[in-house]
Amino acid sequence: MKILALGDIVGKSGVDALCATLWEIRRENGIDFVTANCENAAEGNGVDKASAERLLASGCDVLTSGNHVWKRNDIYSFLDDSPYIVRPMNYPSDAPGKGWTVVDARGIRVLVMNVQGTVYMESLDDPFRAVERTLEREKGGYDVAVLDVHAEATSEKAALARCFDGKITFVFGTHTHVQTADERILPNGSAFITDLGMCGPDDSILGVKCDNVIRKLRSKLPVRFEPAPGKVTLHGAVVTLGHKGGVYPVEKIERFVK
């Protein structure tokens, strides 16, 4: 089995590029399951229902998200109704949607979890305990587990991966939009990469026009961020799993750039 996890999709250009190529990518690489972080898929931030539906129709099996998922009100009911999009599980329980789902991939039950870091980010429930509760609740109901850690601090992402090494098949970070070069298989068998990167325009700062970000950082004043134009590159990671007696051990993890 091969799982492709894609980093934060940025704006209409990121959505268009992914939707135009994902089925071909799946065929060429023998991909069985795709997750993608959609929290920036709408123009200007957040994700709207139309973008989410396009991504799911174009080859994404499950969409994860993060702190920007709340920007567009029309996604709230979609979070409640669709089993194919999740939000960070450590938000209050009365927030729309939920932070995990189990989806069938060619007879293999894949548990997809989403948690948000709390270092340099909003003060939420403890992400470690939130993941522990979900693993216990879903015990026996899945074959493979993946976790999107939407966090600012690399240390927090690594700590979650190490804490659940051997308990979660694939742990990956999102949020920083910069792909890291530390993909590895951890000592107890989990695949890990600190950040998948983004699916967005190359000539940009995190998908935004460079001069917008420079002006914001120099002036300290509010600046309207505009999506950057130009060529889009898709970033993520592919994990290859074996199959031994009902268990799916990680055989390989590779960075993905397209």
| Catalytic residue from among 68, 150, 177, 235 | 68
What tokens were used for 39?
């929290």
As a whole number of angstroms, the distance between CA 132 and CA 9 comes to 28
The strand pairing partners of 240, in sequence order, are 2, 252
Tokens 């026009």 -> residue: 209
Cα atoms in the Cβ-side hemisphere of radius 13 Å centred on 57: 9
Is residue 68 flagged as an active site residue?
Answer: yes
The strand pairing partners of 232, in sequence order, are 201
DSSP 83: T
Helix axis angle for 49-57 and 11-29, nearest 10°, is 20
Single-letter code of the amino acid located at 26: R
Residues taking part in catalysis = 68
